[in-house]
Chain A
């Protein structure tokens, strides 16, 4: 079979130093449905963005239909016949289907006017040609998401896409809509199109893909025929074959459960059930690791635990006291601190000084202010102590946070959170995007906190980190606990993988500590 797309040795490094694609090579055959799987951060979306021209690679070559191409913008990609359906649909909500279809390529009447009739005709034409029903004159905002996606697909087809890239298309669809989509894709394949399909839903991949490329850590691990692999195989490849045995020493003393979650559920603004009756405990002196592919509810769970979001149902107690409905400040005062997953968005205010960042959770407490008055001398002193203790590389306490490197910024966040002497620490992706030295330090600090009797809840997409630090591990999938591992020393990433990807599931499992 002819190769319609070939990428060779693609290298992509982002401005912040993160390597997203490392010597990535992929070959997609004509007339196939080719799945690209990998965890978040594996590099698959970046690769597609490069192919579609949204990002530029530093190195590597791309061949389309045998010829070398330079794709510098989506326009270039569209011109040569590549179309992309993004995860967040690129449609104008208040325009009709037909209007969205012809946007940028509008049919004209008398050279000046929009030919709306023709736009409608074109829509129906394309719709019939590919067997995708869409109502041309309805506004996007009035359509269910499955139909909207169909419009996106038609948009690409209208622009003569021969290669169609779909980025996690089923993440927003109901099971029924997914069925319809798959029928459509199979149809398109029959009509001669080639489809690249990014996903981490392995059952779907097995259902529909001819070939599978597995990516991990910015590299392509393998490309094989889908028929050769079971979901289990794919899961293991995605998550890692190397067995990392790095573990911190087991906890010395395990106390009672400090943080208790029972039957926690959360329905979001789009009426999707994001968390479904989760229950778990975190004991004093342990680190409970939460493993899972990003997007399965971890973000919402963390925000609910820290009071930034209200759950729909359930109980959360800290030493028996209810936390639900309390303000984030009250929750902090009760002894819970939060290392946020996005330090720049939530953890720091980069346009101001270290001092002002350090006092976020304590500026109103005695020692830092007297009544309304801020005690800057004491605050500066305190800041100096924190900088020293946590080894933060900064010129002075009055340095702006924006002048610090990523690792140092994270140290600022960790310094602030841990120095509040909490009983419970919620750490979300605490070492994301920082240098090795800082990562080591953060791990060490968490371990020390654990040994001092703190209860630590660690949510991370980095399985090595989870395995290294956790006492127990629970796996989250689709807002539910899919597995509970009580003994970390015996498991590997490969064991976690299938649960993370929904391939396997323990029955009636929770993260509760048995009596």
Chain B
């Protein structure tokens, strides 16, 4: 038990959590922001995949990290735009359209990968670039804390900035206000002249924007190549994390942290008797339980009000 506990409480573990958490955090921010507008971006998996691929490709052919970043982000935003076009304009069911888009992303990335490199498995033949690691002076020398905080890929720090950006956009900009209004009461938004569909489109594109960073990190930070289906379900996990976190910045952050911790834990638990699979399923189970509790509460609340009213005698009469 001791060696395990030691590993868990070690600085390396703390470092690992943040590393694993990075793509998840970006993606779940993307899902959350789309949800706030009343739609939900279920094609986050595909969005990340496309961005991961585009980043690698562009960085290999232009040798420019900046261009790769821009291209990857553009790809992510484009995915959001396509989803919104099919759902909002052509009235496709968002779940079905998102599933189709995920499939599309999976296929087209490998297809183009093959065309570019002749290899279907990974892009290792390409000299793609990596986002740099950042070793923060002074902090890196602090024992324990330094190991945990310093030395991450710049994208990891970016993810923390992204949470702050998510908060700012949502609560401190007019667009964020409109997104929230549209999500809470589309009629209210319409009555003051806001175009509900257009706002939702922006939300989906923002969603793609954030998700793109998650994808870029995967292929240009976590590892330095693109491999088929490398998102490995992170887009779906992002939905779970966003749901668990109530689609709010703090909640999304904590939920992503939880998922990240559990993922990192799984490796350590292999040494113990507890199988990693059983640990891995905890966050998902937790989401189902949270969803159930939330729904049951919502139901009870309504019934309770009536009972209370009758007992206390505070029944309002319709005049």
In the complex they form, do A and B come into direct contact, defined as C-beta atoms under 8 angstroms apart?
Answer: yes
By a beta-carbon cutoff of 8 Å, the part of chain A in contact with chain B is: 73-75, 78, 84, 86, 88-95, 99-100, 103-106, 108, 112-114, 116, 155, 170-171, 173-175, 178, 201, 267-274, 276, 312, 478-479
B309 in contact with A267 (CB, 8 Å): yes
Given the complex, which residues of B lie within 8 Å of A271, measured CB to CB? 305-306, 308-309, 314-316
A86 in contact with B191 (CB, 8 Å): yes
B91 adjacent to chain A (CB < 8 Å): no
- Known contacts A92-B181, A114-B176, A271-B308; 9 additional CB pairs below 8 A are A93-B184, A99-B181, A114-B177, A170-B319, A267-B306, A269-B306, A271-B314, A271-B315, A273-B315
A178 in contact with B194 (CB, 8 Å): no
B316 in contact with A269 (CB, 8 Å): no
A95 in contact with B306 (CB, 8 Å): no
A92 in contact with B319 (CB, 8 Å): no
Given the complex, which residues of A lie within 8 Å of B191, measured CB to CB? 74, 84, 86, 90
A116 in contact with B318 (CB, 8 Å): no
Query: Of residues A78, A84, A88, A100, which shows the largest number of chain B Cβ atoms within 10 Å of its Cβ?
Result: A100
Query: Of residues B176, B192, B306, B318, which shows the largest number of chain A Cβ atoms within 10 Å of its Cβ?
Result: B318
B310 adjacent to chain A (CB < 8 Å): yes
Residue of A nearest to B303 (CB): A269
Given the complex, which residues of B lie within 8 Å of A100, measured CB to CB? 181, 188
A128 CB to closest chain B CB (Å) equals 22
B187 in contact with A114 (CB, 8 Å): no
**Count of B residues near A, CB < 8 Å?**
32
Residue of B nearest to A107 (CB): B174
B234 adjacent to chain A (CB < 8 Å): no
Query: Of residues A155, A173, A271, A479, which shows the largest number of chain B Cβ atoms within 10 Å of its Cβ?
Result: A271
Question: Measured between alpha carbons, how far is A112 from B173 in the docked complex, in Å?
Answer: 7
Q: Give 23 A-B contacts (CB < 8 Å), ordered by A residue.
A: A74-B191, A90-B185, A92-B180, A92-B188, A92-B189, A95-B180, A95-B184, A99-B181, A104-B194, A105-B192, A112-B173, A113-B168, A113-B173, A114-B171, A116-B172, A170-B319, A269-B302, A270-B305, A271-B316, A273-B316, A273-B317, A276-B317, A312-B306
Given the complex, which residues of A lie within 8 Å of B189, measured CB to CB? 92, 103-104
B12 adjacent to chain A (CB < 8 Å): no
B317 CB to closest chain A CB (Å) equals 6
> Known: A93-B185, A271-B306. Is A103-B319 also a contact (CB below 8 A)?
no
> Within the complex, which residue of A74, A91, A114 is in contact with B190, where a contact is CB–CB below 8 Å?
A74
Given the complex, which residues of A lie within 8 Å of B178, measured CB to CB? 103-104
B143 adjacent to chain A (CB < 8 Å): no
Given the complex, which residues of B lie within 8 Å of A113, measured CB to CB? 168, 172-173
> Known: A103-B188, A104-B193. Is A95-B318 also a contact (CB below 8 A)?
no
Question: Measured between alpha carbons, how far is A73 from B190 in the docked complex, in Å?
Answer: 10
B306 in contact with A268 (CB, 8 Å): yes
Question: Measured between alpha carbons, how far is A164 from B229 in the docked complex, in Å?
Answer: 58
Given the complex, which residues of B lie within 8 Å of A95, measured CB to CB? 177, 180-181, 184
Question: Measured between alpha carbons, how far is A171 from B316 in the docked complex, in Å?
Answer: 11
Given the complex, which residues of A lie within 8 Å of B309, measured CB to CB? 267, 271
> Known: A75-B193, A271-B309, A272-B316. Is A114-B180 also a contact (CB below 8 A)?
no
Q: Which of B295-310 contact A (CB under 8 A)?
A: 302, 305-306, 308-310
Residue of B nearest to A174 (CB): B316
A94 in contact with B177 (CB, 8 Å): no
Given the complex, which residues of B lie within 8 Å of A155, measured CB to CB? 192
Given the complex, which residues of B lie within 8 Å of A273, measured CB to CB? 315-318
> Within the complex, which residue of A93, A175, A267 is in contact with B319, where a contact is CB–CB below 8 Å?
A175
Given the complex, which residues of B lie within 8 Å of A74, measured CB to CB? 190-193
A114 in contact with B174 (CB, 8 Å): yes
A267 in contact with B193 (CB, 8 Å): no
A269 in contact with B305 (CB, 8 Å): yes
Given the complex, which residues of A lie within 8 Å of B172, measured CB to CB? 113-114, 116
> Within the complex, which residue of A78, A94, A106, A272 is in contact with B174, where a contact is CB–CB below 8 Å?
A106
Given the complex, which residues of B lie within 8 Å of A270, measured CB to CB? 305
Given the complex, which residues of A lie within 8 Å of B188, measured CB to CB? 89-92, 100, 103
A71 CB to closest chain B CB (Å) equals 13
